Structure formats: structure tokens, C-alpha cells
Chains A and B, each alone.
Chain A
């Protein structure tokens, strides 16, 4: 299947369009709310939350006998809230640290859910219990009413996020200050964390409990690298999340029984990787270039200063000195040769016979002004 067919699918095929819409909604919501989780260092809470949703799904089915998405979503949400309370309770009441509480709740809730599901289906073999869609998501099973439900819940969550925007920002940045001005930070914390539960629950059907956490982390982490403003970050994270979601939907429309969860997550991870590496300013590449530029400038200044100091020991400040001597003075730093060539191009030094180098008039001036700067710096 080529790209042309893919896009034809996206715009013309009703089923594909529905699925893509659903995964886009989940991407926007989890990207936006995940950004806050990221900033509040709750990235792994999403992991615990989504795993913990499994027994909620099972119990909702056990008690109501209904498999409608709304029932299962409410069950998942209830289990998610319970998991958060358990994590908070364990870290508050005992000496155990947050990481232990997270891992403990995540694994035991998930195991309990697994036990319930296999028990419900009277089939201890997990493989045959039809668990795949819960574990890794099946976007292909999304119906229009599911997508509508996701859009309603997601829209409500985003609306609440917009309404309490400035309070949530303050909560994430400086909670104590928020408390001191009389804003109910504790309640806002509960509200924002509940929205995170909503985001997880919305994504379960398409991404699955195992990988849903990545949808909370990756889009936000990617978006953070491109901007220094919270509103833009949240917006961008929503866009990245939607992109990953649609990619997953398209891939699943190619058939082959691929679970959508891993594809969506891999797409989001690639976006995050590209952002970490190549984002301007913050990206790894930009930081490396900046560091290299600084190093070069430092070395150039040092070579100029060294030539100048050497020159002062002679009658003529523009006496030539050997490259070897300069290397020694730069403590053997690599790149003295390159630096000399670069300085020559800028007309600050000139090559003399026998690999000797000398300052030009302009170079002398540059060295003097650099040394003055250094002296001024030391005075301060």
C-alpha cells in the first residue's frame, strides 16, 4: 500500500476517518494534559494509572455485565483514582519512596486485573482471553459512538484545563506561592490529576494499558524543546499527540493485525527523539554547536594572547613563533592548527617560514582588547 492510498483512506474511507479522528482526539488530550504531568514530575504516574485501569475495566464488566465503552471507561477511571490514592497513601504513611509505591501499585493492580479478566472468561490462558485489545489497543475497534464519547470527555477535560489555566500554571510552577495567595492548591491538584485520569481512560481502547503512559510523556517532552512558553508547549504537544495518533490509525488501516498502541507510541517517540536532537536552542545538536563555537572562540583568544605575550618578550611584538610553542602554551589543546588557519583567514595572524606564526597589526589590536576584557572581568 502506498502513500496515495493511505491518504485516500484517510479522507475517503469512513472507517479510517473515524479511527483517525479518535486517535487524534486521544493524542491532543493526552499531549496537552501530559505536558502538565511532565512539568510536575508525574511522568511515571501515568504509567501506574494506565496499568491500574485494567482491574477497573474487569470489575465494571463483572458488576454491570455491560461491555459498553462508557461503563468500562468509568470503571477504568475509578480504578485510576484508587491507584492514585494508594500511591499517595503509601508515600505519606510509610518510609517507602514514590518509585516503590508506583511500581508496587502498577504491578499488583495490573496483576489483579489480569486475574479478574481470566477468571471472568473462565480461561486461565491469557492468550486466548482476548486481552490483546486491552493490552496494546485496537483502534480498528473504534466506532463512531466511541469516538464521540472520547471527544466529549476529552473536550470537557480541555475546557476545564482552559478555565483553570492560570491556577494550574501556578500549581505546577510554585504551589506554595499559590497557597499563600489563597488559591486552593490542594483541590486544584486533585482536579488536574483527575484530568490526567480522563486522558488515560480516553486512550485505553486505542493505545492499551501497557503503553498509554508514553502518550502522556513523549508529546510534552517533544514540545518542551521547541518553545519556552507554557501555552505554546501545551498546544504543540496536542499537535504532536494528534500526529502520532493519526499515524497509528493509518498504519492499522493497512491491516496485517498490527496493534495500534505500539505504532502510535513509536511515532510519538520518534517525534520526541527528533525534538531532543534537533530543536533549535535547546536541542542536543544546537547545544553541541554552541559549545564548539565557544571552545573555538576561547582557543582563538588564547592563541592570540599567547602570541602577544611571547611577542612582548621581544623588541618586536610581531615576532614569529613556532606552532609547537603555541601548542605547549595552550596545554596541548587540540585544534591549535585549525585555530591558526582560521585566524589567518581573519587576517589576525600570518604564516612565516618554518611553521612560525606572527600577529598582524590587527591581531595585536585584537589580542590587546581581549586581554583588557579579561583584566576587567578579574576586577569585578
Chain B
């Protein structure tokens, strides 16, 4: 592997981690689509600031862009608060307008400079190693410094405000009651998302920012309930997507950002299918098992309900179960056989009768 190859992978991994961290909170707070909005509108911030400072290298651009990200959030809330349209429409109104404005401004007034709308969407990771920056005598691609810095900032912010973020995410009402200023946390988080989006989209484009913020976090959400583990898993899955995507792109001779997003999607599908408890396979297995358990509980409750009632004789016959519970003969026979085996019920004079264990099961299930 050549040095530029290693550096590209390093940048990709840093971008993945930087995105995955705030992404976890976006997913948990049901604001995943905000990443789509913000990652597009930061472009307008860059363009407007560029008109002022006339320098694409200026660090002011990042701040301006991040400011535009936060402004997007504010605007969405303003539109939403008018009550004239629903929240989803507010997002759908605000960010295309701002993004369109940015694209028009670029093609109209800035077409000569290195500011390219396609690159903004798609990223140019392949060229990232050529732009270098020496800090403390260490010569690395500028993107490594920028993204490394953002990773550090995100990590330390999350570490410092971990308990506040956790509470505000899972119980905003309680957080407010405890004086944690959920609004401040909300805007803090949105600033983090904006800064990350600006830093990242220069390398990987705005759409991959969305993929890396939401994909790994969504997969991690299917793997764990623990917030710390979810953050770690999400960062890990992000890195795997980034490195895997790089090699896929090399193999196919295709765009790196697109390939990374593709791998993110594939990873999610793998997790979706195979996740130990919430994966589709595990779910199907559990459903199959629960179907029998559920049917046995149903049988026990049915018998309990009709105990001591005049229709008990009729209701407790196996034939009757098929008719009333809409069970097929085979299924009914299977359920009864299992219930007999588990000593939930017993036969008496051609009827089924609840045994102690069955009665207990019925009671428990009725209590939820």
C-alpha cells in the first residue's frame, strides 16, 4: 500500500468516526433527516462566507458553514412553529431552498473558483492526500488534521456532557425538570452535526455524511440497548464501512464516497438480518417459538374463562377449539399435545381440564 492509499483510508476512518458519534444521538432523537438537511445547507454558509473572505482555505468558512447548519435547524423550527405546515414539510421546504440558492450562487458567481457543486455532493476523497499541512513538524494531509480535530472535539464534548445528553435523549421532560436546558443541548448537538458535516463533506460529500451519520448508528441500535456500547459500535461499524468502501471502490474503479455508502448499506442489511436479538432471523425464530407459547396460553385462558360456566362442557372440547379459535386441526392437535406434555391441561371425560400449572400460566399472562 502506498502512502496516499493509507492516508485516504485514514481520512475515511476519521470521517466515519466523526460522523458516527453525533449520528447516534440523531437516530435516538428521531432527527436523522436533520443530517440530510444540514449536510446540504452548510454549502450556502461556505458560499456566502467565501464571498466575504475570498479564500477557500480560510478556517472562517468552516465556522460560517456550521452557523448555516444551525440556522437551518432554527429556520425549520420557525416554519414548524407557525403551525402552517407539519414538521416534515418544514424540513422539506427549508433545506432545498437554501441548497438551491447555494448552487445558483456558485454557478453564477463562483464558477471560476474551486467550488464545485458535484464535489460537494459526491466528495473527492481521492484527491485529499494532495492537500497537505504541516503541524508541529508532522506533514499530513490537511483533511487528517481537520477530521482528527473534529473527532477529538466530538469525543470530548460527548464525554463531558455524556450524562446530560443521555438524559435529554431518553427523557427530555425529566432533563428539563432537572434544569439541564434541553434546548442548549439540542443546539449544541446540532452545532456538532454542522461542524462535522462541513469538515466531512469536503472529503466525502454531503450524501455520504448522511450515510455515515445514520447507517452505522442505525445498525448499532439493532445490536445494543446501551448508549456507550452503541457509540462504540457505531464508530466501529463506520470505520469498517469506510475501509471496506475504499477497497470496493478500488476494485471497481468507482467513486469512493458512493462505494462507502454502499458498504454502509450492506453492513446495515447484514446486521438487520443477523443481529442476535433483534435481527430478522432471531425475530423469526422467536416468533415461531412464541406462536406455540402464545397458543398454549390462549388455550389455558380459554379454559379458565369458561370454567364453571354452563358452556364449559362444549368449550373445552378439542373440536370446539378449532371452530372458535380458528385453529387448523393440525395446529390445535399440536397445541393440545404440547399443553398435555407440559402438564398445563389434562383429559377428563373427553374434555380438557386445566391443571395447576396451566391455571398459573393463564393468570400470569392475564396480568401481562
The chain A residues found within 8 Å of chain B, CB to CB, are 38, 41-44, 46-47, 51, 90, 93-97, 99-100, 102-104, 106-119, 122-127, 129, 131-132, 135-136, 210-211, 213-214, 216-218, 220-221, 224-225, 256-259, 261-263, 265-266, 269, 272-273, 276, 282-284, 287
Contact in complex: B89, A104 (CB < 8 Å): no
Contact of A116 among B103, B254, B264 (CB under 8 A): B254
How far is B252's CA from A115's CA once the two chains are assembled, in angstroms?
Answer: 9
CB distance from A281 to the nearest CB of B (A): 11
Using CB atoms, name the residue of chain B closest to A210. Answer: B121
| B210 proximity list for chain A (CB < 8 A) | 103, 106-107
Most chain A CB within a 10 A radius of its CB, from B100, B253, B265, B272:
B100
Contact A124 B126 (CB under 8 A): yes
Counting from the closest, the 10 A-B pairs by CB-CB distance are: A111-B261, A108-B265, A114-B258, A214-B96, A269-B97, A115-B258, A107-B211, A217-B92, A262-B100, A107-B210
The smallest beta-carbon distance between B28 and chain A, in angstroms, is: 9
Measured CA separation A258–B104 after assembly (Å) = 7
List B contacts of A224 (CB < 8 A): 84-85
Chain A residues within an 8 Å CB radius of B88: 41-44
Contact residues of B with A, CB < 8 Å?
27, 30-33, 35-36, 40, 79, 82, 84-86, 88-89, 91-93, 96-97, 99-101, 103-104, 107-108, 111, 116-119, 121-122, 124, 126, 207-208, 210-211, 213-215, 217-218, 221-222, 248-249, 252-262, 264-265, 268, 272, 278, 280, 283
> In the complex, which residues of chain A have a beta carbon less than 8 angstroms from the beta carbon of B92?
43-44, 46-47, 213-214, 216-218
Chain B contacts for A42, CB-based, 8 A: 88
Residue of A97, A114, A125, A276 contacting most chain B CB atoms (<10 Å) = A114
Choose among A107, A122, A214, A256 the residue that contacts B207 (Cβ–Cβ < 8 A): A107
- B91 adjacent to A44 (CB under 8 Å): yes
A47 and B36 contacting across the interface, CB-CB below 8 Å: yes
Residues of A within 8 A of B31 (CB): 99
Given contacts A211-B96, A262-B104, contact A110 B280 (CB under 8 A): no
B258 touches A111 (CB 8 A): yes
Interface contact A221-B254, CB-CB below 8 Å: no
| Neighbouring A residues of B36 by C-beta, 8 Å | 47, 103, 106-107
Question: For B255, what are the chain A residues with a Cβ–Cβ distance below 8 Å?
Answer: 114-115, 117-118, 124-126, 129
CB–CB B91/A103 < 8 A? no
Q: Are A93 and B280 in contact (CB under 8 A)?
A: yes
If over half of A's interface residues share one DSSP class (helix, strand or loop), that class is named, otherwise mixed; here it is helix
Pairwise interchain contact B100-A132, C-beta atoms closer than 8 A: no
Q: A135-B121, A257-B107 are in contact. Are A214 and B211 (CB under 8 A)?
A: no
Contact present for B261 and A127 (CB under 8 Å): no
Residue of B nearest to A127 (CB): B118
| Contact present for A104 and B265 (CB under 8 Å) | yes
- Using Cβ atoms and an 8 Å threshold, which residues of chain B touch A211? 96, 99-100
With most chain A CB atoms within 10 A of its CB, the pick from B31, B93, B101, B259 is: B93
B32 touches A113 (CB 8 A): no
Q: Given the complex of chains A and B, what is the CA–CA distance between A102 and B210 in angstroms?
A: 11
Residue of B with least CB distance to A218: B93
Specify the chain A residue showing the minimal Cβ separation from B250: A124
Contact call B35/A103, Cβ cutoff below 8 A: yes
Chain B: minimal CB distance from A372 (Å)? 34
On chain B, the residues within 8 Å of A97 by CB distance are 27, 30, 32
**Do A112 and B118 touch (CB < 8 A)?**
no
Q: Which residues of B contact A113 (CB under 8 A)?
A: 258
Please judge, given known A-B contacts A111-B208, A221-B85, whether A261 and B100 are in contact too, CB under 8 Å: yes
Q: Is the CB of A114 within 8 A of B100?
A: no
Residue ID in chain A nearest B116 by CB atoms? A127
Closest Cβ of chain B to A57, distance in Å, is 14
| A259 to B117 Cα, complex, angstroms | 11
Query: Shortest Cβ distance from A38 into chain B, in angstroms?
Result: 6
* Complex: A284 Cα to B80 Cα, angstroms: 12
Contact A221 B89 (CB under 8 A): yes
Partner of B97, one of A111, A126, A256, A266: A266
- Asked whether, in the complex, the Cβ of B283 is within 8 Å of the Cβ of A93, the reply is yes
Complex contacts, B103 vs chain A, CB 8 Å: 136, 259, 261-262
Q: Within the assembled complex, what's the spacing in Å between the Cα atoms of A272 and B92?
A: 11
Measured between alpha carbons, how far is A108 from B89 in the docked complex, in Å?
A: 22
Closest beta carbon of chain A to B172's beta carbon, Å: 15
- Contact B93 A269, beta carbon cutoff 8 Å: yes
The answer to whether B122 touches A131 (Cβ under 8 A) is yes
Q: When the two chains form the complex, which single residue of B32, B40, B97, B121 contacts A103, counting CB atoms closer than 8 Å?
A: B32
Given contacts A44-B88, A102-B32, A131-B118, contact A115 B264 (CB under 8 A): no
Residues in B with CB closer than 8 Å to A269 are 93, 96-97, 100
A51 CA to B40 CA in the complex, in Å?
13
Distance, CA A44 to CA B30, complexed state (A):
13
With A136-B103, A284-B82 given, name 16 new contacts (CB 8 A): A47-B33, A93-B272, A95-B278, A103-B35, A107-B210, A108-B215, A108-B262, A111-B257, A111-B258, A112-B258, A112-B261, A125-B124, A214-B96, A220-B89, A221-B84, A273-B97
A214 near B35: Cβ-Cβ < 8 Å: no
Residue numbers in A under 8 Å from B215 (CB-CB)? 104, 107-108
Q: Is the CB of B222 within 8 A of A96?
A: yes
Q: Is A112's CB under 8 angstroms from B30's CB? A: no
Whether A44 lies near B93 (C-beta < 8 A) is no
* B residues in contact with A258, CB < 8 Å: 104, 107-108
Q: Which residues of A contact B213 (CB under 8 A)?
A: 103
A104-B214, A211-B96, A276-B79 known; A111 vs B107 contact (CB < 8 Å): no
Most chain A beta carbons < 10 A, residue from B99, B254, B268, B280: B254
Q: Contacts of A216 on B, CB cut-off 8 Å?
A: 92
Instruction: With A126-B118, A211-B96, A269-B93 as known contacts, state yes or no: A256 contacts B108, CB within 8 Å.
Output: yes
**Chain A contacts for B256, CB-based, 8 A:** 124
**Contacts A44-B91, A115-B259, A269-B96; is A124 near B84 (CB within 8 Å)?**
no
Please give, as numbers and ranges, the residues of chain B lying within 8 Å of A122 by CB-CB distance.
253
Find out whether the CB atom of B104 lies under 8 angstroms from the CB atom of A38: no
